[in-house]
Chains A and B, each alone.
Chain A
Amino acid sequence: MSDASYFDESTTPKLPVAAPLDFIALLKPRVMSLVVFTAFAGFLFAPTLPHPLIIFAALFAIAVGAGASGALNMWYDSDIDAIMRRTRMRPIPAGRISADTALAFGVILSVLSVFTLGFVSNWLAATLLAFTIFFYVVIYTMWLKRLTPLNIVIGGAAGALPPIVGYAAATGDVSVASLVLFAIIFIWTPPHFWSLAILKIDEYGSVGVPMLPNVSGLRRTRLEILVYCLVLAPIGAVPWCLGFASWLYGVTAVSLGLGLLILAAQLFVAQDEATIRQAARRMFAFSILYLFALFLMLTIERALNLIGLF
């Protein structure tokens, strides 16, 4: 065989064209920003805060850990991402990054983030971060996501852990406050994603992911959303009831909780498909606002409290 034919274009492996922005897209920046935000809230609940540079470095490590989880999720799910309209332009299905490269990128960043957090903060926080990455990638993505409609219920724990990691990074401990923040995100996750699953029912059906609307139907899903919101609304007010947030937070949490319940009830009683879709869209958007507003209130209150202004 001549050199020319050996290196013929058809036999030469496709070389990468990925730009740095494609690797940033692998990190799921929007999810990463939510993780940093909730981990920062966990930080602020510490009785005494470490040096600002230590906080920055720890949050950086947590952000990289979250990004690594996103990259490993995209590596494993690249087959279904290529089919779903919402995800087909991600770097792997679009052919800009190979699956092997994404796997190596995710593993390297996972190791880097865990050891960085261990060195700059402590090894409890690093272990919790490693567990979060493991839970999201192995338990949720590889095991539960394609197996059971409870995927998001159990898998939601991974997204709920950052406040605990943040608090642990600041103190080397786990507190009731950080567990309450965990509970809020954990109970918030299913109704949020089931609203999206109602809107994307055809897409999830086409790739065989057993989301609740596909497996149990729209009626059962809307009932579950309502039940979860009935549990979430009081849990959202717990930081105020336990005394680590003010009445201002309490009023916000109760008002937004009522809003969430009203939207969940509207979704539950909706009759025709168009009304159900409209109610699900409103529910999805409001659930994002709900979590963001609660954590923003907690963060502002704690920040003002720490500098003695509240």
Chain B
Amino acid sequence: MSDKDPKDEALSSQHGIVLTPEQLRGRRARNIAIGLGVTFLAVLFYAVTIVRLGGAVANRSI
């Protein structure tokens, strides 16, 4: 069974570029790595903000 996404195949045939299974695997792995990296950064910045604000995190105008 082909591991190509049907949408990819449709787009590829429309534009004339067909990705090899290796390229598709690489792209999927890169996308997952970018997703994990961005999530890690979001959590890190949130946690650092809380640590830097400390008790003042609750001080805000209602």
Seen from chain A, the residues whose Cβ lies within 8 Å of a Cβ on chain B are 3-4, 6-7, 12, 15-20, 23, 51, 53-54, 57, 60, 119-120
Choice from A6, A51, A57 contacting B44 with Cβ under 8 Å: A57
Interchain nearest-CB distance for A170 vs B (Å): 14
Seen from chain B, the residues whose Cβ lies within 8 Å of a Cβ on chain A are 15-17, 19-20, 22-23, 25-27, 29-30, 32-33, 44-45, 47-48, 51-52
Choice from A3, A6, A19, A57 contacting B30 with Cβ under 8 Å: A19
**A20 and B44 contact, CB distance less than 8 A:** no
Interchain nearest-CB distance for A10 vs B (Å): 13
Chain A contacts of B20 at CB under 8 A?
A: 17
Give the distance in Å from the alpha carbon of A6 to the alpha carbon of B47 in the complex: 51
Please classify the interface of chain B as helix (H, G, I), strand (E, B), loop, or mixed, using the class held by over half of its residues. Answer: helix
**A19 and B29 contact, CB distance less than 8 A:** yes
User: When A and B form their complex, what is the total count of cross-chain residue pairs whose Cβ atoms lie within 8 Å?
Assistant: 44
Supposing A53-B47, A57-B44 touch, asked if A20 and B30 sit within 8 A by C-beta, the answer is: yes
Chain A contacts of B30 at CB under 8 A?
A: 18-20, 23
Supposing A54-B52, A60-B44, A119-B48 touch, asked if A15 and B23 sit within 8 A by C-beta, the answer is: yes
Choice from A17, A23, A119 contacting B23 with Cβ under 8 Å: A17
Give the distance in Å from the alpha carbon of A225 to the alpha carbon of B30 in the complex: 44
Sample (18) of A-B pairs whose CB atoms are under 8 Å apart: A4-B16, A12-B17, A15-B23, A16-B23, A17-B22, A17-B23, A18-B26, A19-B25, A19-B26, A20-B32, A51-B51, A53-B47, A53-B48, A53-B51, A54-B52, A57-B48, A119-B45, A120-B48
Name, among A18, A19, A54, the residue most crowded by chain B CB atoms within 10 Å (CB to CB): A19
Q: Which residue of A lies closest to B34 (CB)?
A: A20
Interchain nearest-CB distance for A27 vs B (Å): 12
Chain A contacts of B48 at CB under 8 A?
A: 53-54, 57, 119-120
Chain B contacts of A12 at CB under 8 A?
A: 16-17
Choice from A3, A20, A51, A120 contacting B29 with Cβ under 8 Å: A20
Q: Which residue of A lies closest to B45 (CB)?
A: A119
Give the distance in Å from the alpha carbon of A180 to the alpha carbon of B58 in the complex: 42
Q: Which residue of A lies closest to B40 (CB)?
A: A60
Chain B contacts of A54 at CB under 8 A?
A: 48, 51-52
